[in-house]
Structure 1
Amino acid sequence: MEVPFYDIESVVLRCTAASPNNPDSQREAIEKYYTADCEFNHPLATVLSGQSSRDTVLRVYQWYRIMSPTLELTIDERVMDEARNIIYLQVTQTFHIRWSPFKPKPARLLVKIHLVQDGQLWFIKRQEDFYQPEDLLYLTLPPLAHVVHFLKRAAGIACTVNAIAFQSLGFWRTDRDKDD
């Protein structure tokens, strides 16, 4: 990439949502934009940095396309931390497993891309994908996402009740809590 902040959207789209009829385009993009020793971390797959780890990252992306021939991806926001050579992307992705009976649902994720510069060009050295649990389930088992969302809301209520109960016993009280 010459200007990562502007180039990253087309790079990500070529690597992930490449035409289902053109796997060569995906291979070319990963070979062009990722370092040979790149690293990939996703909640469902990890590739450690190694001599030819880019080949393994390519296989992960290829498997994703085999599983989901129809994949939609939108980059909603992007931020570049130039001091650290990191790009953050807020992404919405619709991933439908080929033989799944469930209707696909869009999932949100945060992608953290670590860049390295070689001459005038920038390359992806490490990619980390972060999902909320229910968003990860939207990709795999959409009906369970609602259960997880409910459990997270219940946990929020339980935290509130426990905080009030333990603060009444003197734990972790602010001055304002003491006045109430």
Structure 2
Amino acid sequence: MSLTDRIVREIGDIITTLTTGTPQEQEDTLNTYFLRNASFTHPFCRVPSFSIKSIPIVGGVDSLAVILAIYRWYRTLSPKIDINIDSAVFDQRTGRLFVSIRQTFSIWFIPLYRAPVRLTTILQLSQRTSWDSDQTVTRGPLTEGREPAPLAGPGQERARYFITSQEDLYQVNDFVQFLLPGLGPMMWSFWQLLSTVMCVMLSFVFLPVYFFFNRGSGRAGDKAKTT
């Protein structure tokens, strides 16, 4: 099995464990696959990449500790989450892993609250060796007692792919499900239809302006200028 296939196969287990695993499994998975200074972006929150070696009383703090807190709060709000990984594609040239996900988020203290949403998660991967100073390689539940983790490059444990950033992308009609399940997507769909009608009407009203600003432009016009 190729490196790309192994990474794609493993990412489903990683995401499922982060969103549905026990507290210890969540922490072990983050420590195993994420860099200590990884960043995280979501419509509701953002964690920039940082690492502070020493703070009085507190000690060392890094962005991974903040990401762990976010995942813990996520599981506190919705202890039971239905999640499905539809597809995963790894672009080895850029190191980006694109994952298409469907999940149903329910808040335990709000009866009948269910928010089925779709999202695309973009994970930026970067190769690190096990002796890199910015990452301590641990062995969590996904690698213990098995072959080296599939997020591994040449040299297996000596040179592995780690997640340096996570970005969750939502369509607006899926994103508003968190705020107004059912009603929010309907309102946004209505606005989209209204905006479409306005675009068509304004395109006819301003048709002369369109032709004026775009005369002689395009590839054919550019070729004519260069000859």
TM range (shorter): 0.7 to 0.9
Q: Closer, same or farther in 2 for the Cα pair 1:44/1:172, shift >3 Å?
A: farther
**1:17 matched to which residue of 2?**
20
- Alpha-carbon offset, residue 112 of structure 1: 0.5
Q: TM-score when scaled to structure 1?
A: 0.87
Task: Give matches, 1:159-170, under 5 Å.
Answer: 159-167=199-207, 169-170=208-209
**Residue from 100, 121, 128 that aligns with 2:167:** 128
Unaligned runs of 5+ in 2: 52-61, 129-157, 216-227
**In structure 2, what is the Cα distance between the partners aligned to 1:166 and 1:6?**
51
Task: Give matches, 1:54-93, under 5 Å.
Answer: 54-93=64-103
Secondary structure of 1:120 counterpart:
strand
User: Are 1:37 and 2:76 an aligned pair?
Assistant: no
**In structure 1, what is the Cα distance between the partners aligned to 2:211 and 2:202?**
12
Quick check: 78-87 or 141-150, which moved more? Answer: 141-150
- Alpha-carbon offset, residue 6 of structure 1: 1.8
Code of the residue aligned with 1:91 in structure 2: it is: I
Residues 107, 135 of structure 1: 8 Å contact kept: yes
User: Are 1:95 and 2:135 an aligned pair?
Assistant: no
Unaligned runs of 5+ in 1: 176-180
Residues 68, 96 of structure 1: 8 Å contact kept: yes
**In structure 1, what is the Cα distance between the partners aligned to 2:211 and 2:175?**
34
- Alpha-carbon offset, residue 57 of structure 1: 0.3
**In structure 2, what is the Cα distance between the partners aligned to 1:172 and 1:123?**
51
* Structure of greater Rg: 2
Code of the residue aligned with 1:44 in structure 2: it is: F
**In structure 2, what is the Cα distance between the partners aligned to 1:101 and 1:164?**
48
Q: Closer, same or farther in 2 for the Cα pair 1:81/1:17, shift >3 Å?
A: same
Give the helix-richer structure, 1 or 2: 1
Comparing both chains, which one has the higher relative contact order based on Cα–Cα distances under 8 Å and sequence gaps of 6 or more? Answer: 2
Q: TM-score when scaled to structure 2?
A: 0.70
Residues 94, 139 of structure 1: 8 Å contact kept: no
Residues 107, 113 of structure 2: 8 Å contact kept: no
Give per-residue Cα distances to partners, 1:29-66, cap 9 Å, x unaligned. 11111100000000001000011100100000110010
**In structure 1, what is the Cα distance between the partners aligned to 2:169 and 2:72?**
20
Residues 121, 169 of structure 2: 8 Å contact kept: yes
Q: Closer, same or farther in 2 for the Cα pair 1:102/1:166, shift >3 Å?
A: farther
Secondary structure of 2:109 counterpart:
coil
**1:140 matched to which residue of 2?**
179
Secondary structure of 2:123 counterpart:
strand
